[in-house]
Amino acid sequence: MSMDKIGLRFRTLLAVGTITFSTLLIFTLIHQNSIFYFVDGFSSINVLSANNNPNATVLKQGIKDHKIAYSSVDNKVLGDKDQNVMPGIFQQRSEIGPKTHSLEDQKKDTSQSSTSIANDQFLDGLLVSTFDEASCLSRYQSHLYRKASPYKPSAYLLSKLRNYEHLHSSCGPRTKSYNKTMRKGSKFSKDDAGTKCKYLVWTPSNGLGNRMLTLASAFLYAILTDRVLLVKFGTDMFGLFCEPFPDSSWLLPRNFPYWKDQKHIETYETMLGNSKKKISKELLPQFLILNLQHTHDGHNNFFHCDQSQGRLQKVPVLILWSDQYFVPSLFMIPSFRQELSKMFPEKDTVFHHLGRYLFHPSNAAWEQISRIYEAHLAKANERIGLQIRVYNTHRSPHQTIINEIIACTLQHKLLPELDVQKTATSLLKKRTSKAVLVASLFSEYGEKLRTIYKTSTAMTGELIKVYQPSHEGRQKSNNDTHNIKAWTEIYLLSLCDALITSPKSTFGYVAHGLGGLKPWILQRAYGETIPNPPCQRVMSMEPCFHYPPKYDCKANNTVDFTSLFHHMKHCEDVSSGLRLVNAN
Ligand SMILES: *[C@@H]1O[C@H](CO)[C@@H](O)[C@H](O)[C@H]1NC(C)=O
Ligand SMILES: *[C@@H]1O[C@H](CO)[C@@H](O)[C@H](O)[C@H]1NC(C)=O
Ligand SMILES: *[C@@H]1O[C@H](CO)[C@@H](O)[C@H](O)[C@H]1NC(C)=O
Ligand SMILES: *[C@@H]1O[C@H](CO)[C@@H](O)[C@H](O)[C@H]1NC(C)=O
């Protein structure tokens, strides 16, 4: 598509966006009946999912159902693929043929084979089935909303997870080893260290997106180093997730000796400094702070060096301070490399697998997720997620971002062009629907887009519905209600079929990583100018590590790691960042 053409379409869209109130009113009056017809038709249609039943028997059954239902009150409609099977059948009454992912519909649909349900439900073996279903509904129900992932976990990853679960339940909170190790002041000799349970304590820092990225990184580090991951959740995070590990808890008990005050714990830098002077003969610190925060000066100097790992390995309790997705650092460490290749033959699936393994919405969050999903997303043929994070609204005004989003959706055919003149005829052509989910701190985005798609119809005749669940105004990282809303939206975005996200947003990274999606990332906009191109598709679904190390441990000088590893590339949205890609 040429830029001229896009420009032209833009002007049309802008005209539509700023349409006067009177025109709006007239339009609504004239078409009120049709609009109501379609909206109403939507909510009452009970649909059979063709998507999850790629089985001829099921389809035939569906068509049979449809014929029967057609003459009855409850009309079932098949997905658009199936319209080819019996052409014309939908034209008499309704052209809408959405596939559904509605939970209610799928609960009724018992024709799916039980093995494929089990595979879907337990994410190809990532999850174990031993949890109490009522304690975590999302664990058992998320497969009804999320398409089966095309990325399968390796058998080796599954075996590492099962081993980890075993370790966690034997060393976790309230076990004998836990009680012994977590006692303040006890000293361990070097010989002791190898035989005891070791721990990695995760602490929160920065917003929810960053926290989830570091949790996944910490979990991988724990697996690689045979440590038990314990999380120091305050009240702002208690209500978000289910317990991920069977027969134990990942919550750090409140009687952890350094729950409040970690000032007097040795840090890893001081240990490195000491060891240069004089390696302490027998005694190792029992607790050690590993500071990988991006704001910390020494944050990325030596963690990725094998010698550091050799030293850290012996410390019983590591307390991690990080707000970064530091998984790429782990891939730089020679002693981990082989394990990582076996666990992740597809290197761009690390967060996708570990994230889906770890992060199950709590029942409170799941209630919100399923309510919104059922009401606004389930019945659409396609779900488009827009995640709009604007750090500086003066530098890039809302209208510029809206224009940029529209340019992006047009260029990549995510949303259709609008038909400004022939609204009446295109209403009749209407056949499919798209739901647009807007996640933003500001209400302007949802409102503007809703207005645009409410007042005009698409050239293609598609029905576009815009929904924005919340607009918090500003980020409140330490507030549980706020965090539940944020988590709900991250999760809903991850259920979409396509995503457009903002640059440098960890919120967006978590959503596309969980969803197994490669999003289109908006280019940073300045002033009124719409960047060209407005957005760029990322090459990998992995999150970006914003502040990666630059030190080559072997050569003792600065290096660009993309020159050493083919499976690391600079991020599209943060040029100094690193992203794992699927290469050897
Ligand atoms: C469809 O599914 C049924 C039961 O789930 C199975 O027995 C049958 O072989 C499947 N048919 C095809 C064509 O895959
Ligand atoms: C560990 O300590 C907790 C209390 O802090 C106690 O309830 C628990 O029984 C202890 N576990 C063992 C195995 O002694
Ligand atoms: C937390 O955020 C919610 C809205 O997200 C707000 O209603 C509530 O007042 C906030 N609570 C605190 C303690 O700031
Ligand atoms: C690494 O390089 C610095 C100077 O760039 C030097 O001071 C230091 O001694 C070197 N370290 C090693 C282990 O060679």
DSSP output for 309-348: HHHHTT-SEEEEE--S--HHHHHH-HHHHHHHHHH-SSGG
Please indicate, yes or no, whether residues 445 and 496 belong to a single structural domain of this protein: yes
Q: How confident is the model at residue 242 (pLDDT cuts 50, 70, 90)?
A: very high
Q: Is the CB of 471 under 6 A from ligand 3?
A: no
Contact of 382 with 508, CB cutoff 8 Å: no
Mark which of 324, 358, 392 sits at the end of a domain: 358
- Residue 546 domain flag: yes
- Residue 121 domain flag: no
Residues 463-482 have a mean pLDDT of 84
Domain span including residue 473: 369-580
Cα angle for residues 499, 547, 224 (degrees, 5° grid): 85
Distance from Cα 176 to the centre of ligand 4, integer Å? 45
Distance from Cα 484 to the centre of ligand 3, integer Å? 11
Please indicate, yes or no, whether residues 532 and 565 belong to a single structural domain of this protein: yes
Task: Kindly report, residue by residue over 344-363, the tens digit of the pLDDT.
Answer: 999 999 999 999 999 999 99
Three-class SS of residue 249? coil
Please indicate, yes or no, whether residues 559 and 459 belong to a single structural domain of this protein: yes
Contact of 487 with 208, CB cutoff 8 Å: yes
- Residue 165 domain flag: yes
Distance from Cα 276 to the centre of ligand 4, integer Å? 13
Q: How far apart are CA 292 and CA 268, in angstroms?
A: 10
- Ligand 2 closest atom vs CA 253: 5
- Does the structure show a pLDDT above 80 at 550? yes
Model pTM above 0.75: yes
Q: How far apart are CA 358 and CA 30, in angstroms?
A: 51
- Continuous H helices in 240-393: 268-277, 306-312, 327-332, 334-343, 350-358, 363-372
- Residue 167 domain flag: yes
Q: Is the CB of 174 under 6 A from ligand 2?
A: yes
Please indicate, yes or no, whether residues 410 and 345 belong to a single structural domain of this protein: no
Q: Whose CA is nearest to atom 14 of ligand 3?
A: 479
Please indicate, yes or no, whether residues 431 and 570 belong to a single structural domain of this protein: yes
CB within 8 Å of 519: residues ≥ 6 apart: 498, 499, 500, 501, 508, 511, 512, 537, 538
Please indicate, yes or no, whether residues 278 and 416 belong to a single structural domain of this protein: no
Q: Is the CB of 114 under 6 A from ligand 1?
A: no
Within 10 angstroms of residue 105's Cβ, the number of other Cβ atoms is: 19
Q: Is the CB of 337 under 6 A from ligand 2?
A: no
Q: How far apart are CA 460 and CA 41, in angstroms?
A: 19
Write down the pLDDT at residue 189: 55
Ligand nearest 179 Cα, by number? 2
Write down the pLDDT at residue 369: 96
Q: Is the CB of 180 under 6 A from ligand 2?
A: no
Domain count, the chain: 2
Mark which of 315, 333, 358 sits at the end of a domain: 358
Q: Is the CB of 23 under 6 A from ligand 2?
A: no
Please indicate, yes or no, whether residues 428 and 398 belong to a single structural domain of this protein: yes
User: What are the structure tokens assigned to 529, written together?
Assistant: 């100018």
CB crowding 296-317: b at 16 or more within 10 Å, else e: beebbbbbbbeebbebbebbbb
CB within 8 Å of 289: residues ≥ 6 apart: 262, 265, 266, 267, 268, 318, 319, 321
Residue ranges with strand state E in 23-75: 46-47
Within 10 angstroms of residue 224's Cβ, the number of other Cβ atoms is: 17
Please indicate, yes or no, whether residues 161 and 295 belong to a single structural domain of this protein: yes
- Residue 60 domain flag: no
% of the chain with per-residue pLDDT over 70: 73
- Does the structure show a pLDDT above 70 at 234? yes
- Residue 131 domain flag: no
CB crowding 244-274: b at 16 or more within 10 Å, else e: bbbebbbebeeebebeeebeebebbbebbee
Residues 251-275 have a mean pLDDT of 82
Q: Which amino acid is at 292?
A: L
Within 10 angstroms of residue 95's Cβ, the number of other Cβ atoms is: 18
Residues 444-465 have a mean pLDDT of 83
Within 10 angstroms of residue 15's Cβ, the number of other Cβ atoms is: 12
Q: Which amino acid is at 556?
A: N
- Residue 36 domain flag: no
Task: Kindly report, residue by residue over 164-194, the tens digit of the pLDDT.
Answer: 999 999 999 999 999 989 887 666 555 554 4
Q: Is the CB of 472 under 6 A from ligand 3?
A: yes
Mark which of 339, 358, 377 sits at the end of a domain: 358
Q: Which amino acid is at 131?
A: F
272 phi and psi angles, rounded to 5 deg: -60, -45
Q: Which among 389, 366, 386, 370 has a CA at the least distance from the CA of 378?
A: 370
Please indicate, yes or no, whether residues 226 and 306 belong to a single structural domain of this protein: yes
Distance from Cα 75 to the centre of ligand 2, integer Å? 59
Q: Whose CA is nearest to atom 6 of ligand 2?
A: 174
Q: Which among 101, 119, 279, 129 has a CA at the least distance from the CA of 190?
A: 279
List the CATH number of the domain containing 397.
3.40.50.11350
DSSP type of residue 123: G
Q: Whose CA is nearest to atom 2 of ligand 2?
A: 174
Task: Kindly report, residue by residue over 34-62, the tens digit of the pLDDT.
Answer: 222 222 222 222 223 333 333 332 322 33
CB crowding 124-156: b at 16 or more within 10 Å, else e: bbbbeeebeeeebbbbbbbbbbbeebeebbbee
Rg (CA), the chain: 26
388 phi and psi angles, rounded to 5 deg: -120, 110
Q: Is the CB of 84 under 6 A from ligand 1?
A: no
Please indicate, yes or no, whether residues 269 and 395 belong to a single structural domain of this protein: no
Q: How confident is the model at residue 1 (pLDDT cuts 50, 70, 90)?
A: very low
Contact of 244 with 250, CB cutoff 8 Å: yes
Q: How far apart are CA 153 and CA 142, in angstroms?
A: 18
Distance from Cα 316 to the centre of ligand 2, integer Å? 19
CA dihedral 265, 268, 269, 270 (to 10 degrees): 40
Please indicate, yes or no, whether residues 320 and 404 belong to a single structural domain of this protein: no
Q: How far apart are CA 137 and CA 132, in angstroms?
A: 9
Q: Which of 170, 176, 178, 179 to mutate to test the pocket of ligand 2 (most atoms within 8 A of CB)?
A: 179
- Residue 329 domain flag: yes
Q: Whose CA is nearest to atom 11 of ligand 3?
A: 479
Please indicate, yes or no, whether residues 265 and 381 belong to a single structural domain of this protein: no
Distance from Cα 555 to the centre of ligand 4, integer Å? 9
Task: Kindly report, residue by residue over 376-392, the tens digit of the pLDDT.
Answer: 999 999 999 999 988 77
- Ligand 1 closest atom vs CA 58: 1
Q: Is the CB of 524 under 6 A from ligand 3?
A: no
